[in-house]
Structure 1
Amino acid sequence: MIWKPNVTVAVVVEQNGRYLLVEEEPEAGCGLFLNQPAGHLDPGESIIQGAIRETLEETAYTFEPEYVLGIYQWYSHRADTNYIRFAFGGCVTHHDPEQKLDAGILRASWFGFDEINQMIQRHRSPLVMQCIRDHLAGKRYPLELLMHYES
């Protein structure tokens, strides 16, 4: 058997001390979780394109990536799955409140650090808080770090 990690993208957007998160129920009956706008990379898209698409699908905001926040590896015992997360920082511009959000996404909202920290038991993964801490620590890497090739 060939081992393949799940490649995911996520974005950290902060405005006026508040972070954009989504409330999601990924599977019926498994509970309500908080996560950054995030998801799996689609076939044929670049990692940056995936981050832009996922943000729009989950929040109805247009995301403009400004930097790579970090690359994270996490093993979920519950799912028996390895995840490689490419996280980006940037800003959001246009918002379409009429846009239907992805299945499983209940809403996108802005939360302060203390609120997010108090709800840590509802985080989809430990990467939610780690990405916010890295953002607050000023971690920033150029987008040119990532190269996309097609044949």
Structure 2
Amino acid sequence: MKRFIPHVTVATVVEDQGRFLLVEEHAEGRVVLNQPAGHLEADESLLQAALRETLEETGWEVELTGVTGIYLYTAPANGVTYQRVCFAARPLRHHPELALDHGIIGPRWLTRDELETRSAQWRSVLVARCIDDYLAGPPYPLELIREPTWLT
């Protein structure tokens, strides 16, 4: 029997005055929109991963303010199952001089309505689901995430 191993990922919903920080990127041969998101790395906490991925993909430093939700998603394109921990965050400062990750076109600030008009570009249904869960609020406290003390 083949062992099932989901990929652990993080994402952030960053909101500023009704607009959400998204990433426009190349994925699976097309241009898509996603939250700043990526895989958890070895010896990294979920919180550290969310901060790192947001900075690497958008050039924005953020402050995590809560947990929006935990999601399981199997991508139809490759059959891989992802466990996504999505955080709420607020923007602190932008570093436009930073080189963004490979494949990233750039950060985009969109309202929920603007995002809806671009639904064909969503990387997955989780793009809207995470924002909608954030808007339904309030987020769960960050203390929901129990991490080993050696990671903090």
Instruction: Provide TM-score, normalisation by structure 2.
Output: 0.94
Tell me the distance in 2 between the aligned counterparts of 1:141 and 1:82.
Answer: 24
Tell me the distance in 1 between the aligned counterparts of 2:92 and 2:139.
Answer: 20
* 8 Å Cα contact 2:58/2:106 also seen in 1: yes
Residue in 2 that maps onto 1:60: 59
Residue in 1 that maps onto 2:12: 11
| Deviation at residue 121 of structure 1 after TM alignment | 1.1
Tell me the distance in 2 between the aligned counterparts of 1:139 and 1:4.
Answer: 31
SS in structure 2 of the partner of residue 43 of structure 1: coil
SS in structure 1 of the partner of residue 27 of structure 2: coil
| Deviation at residue 26 of structure 1 after TM alignment | 2.7
Instruction: Provide TM-score, normalisation by structure 1.
Output: 0.95
Deviations, residues 90-124 of structure 1 (Å, cap 9, x unaligned) = 11112111110000100101001111001111100
Gaps of 5+ in 1: none
Aligned residues between the structures: 149
Residue in 2 that maps onto 1:50: 49
* 8 Å Cα contact 2:16/2:91 also seen in 1: no
Tell me the distance in 1 between the aligned counterparts of 2:66 and 2:100.
Answer: 25
Deviations, residues 67-92 of structure 1 (Å, cap 9, x unaligned) = 00000001112111001000000111
After the TM superposition, which parts of structure 1 deviate over 4 Å for at least 4 consecutive aligned residues?
A: none
Gaps of 5+ in 2: none
| Deviation at residue 139 of structure 1 after TM alignment | 3.7
Residue in 2 that maps onto 1:126: 125
Asked whether 1:91 is paired with 2:102, we answer no
Tell me the distance in 2 between the aligned counterparts of 1:2 and 1:148.
Answer: 25
Task: Supply the RMSD in Å over aligned alpha carbons.
Answer: 1.2
Asked whether 1:23 is paired with 2:24, we answer yes
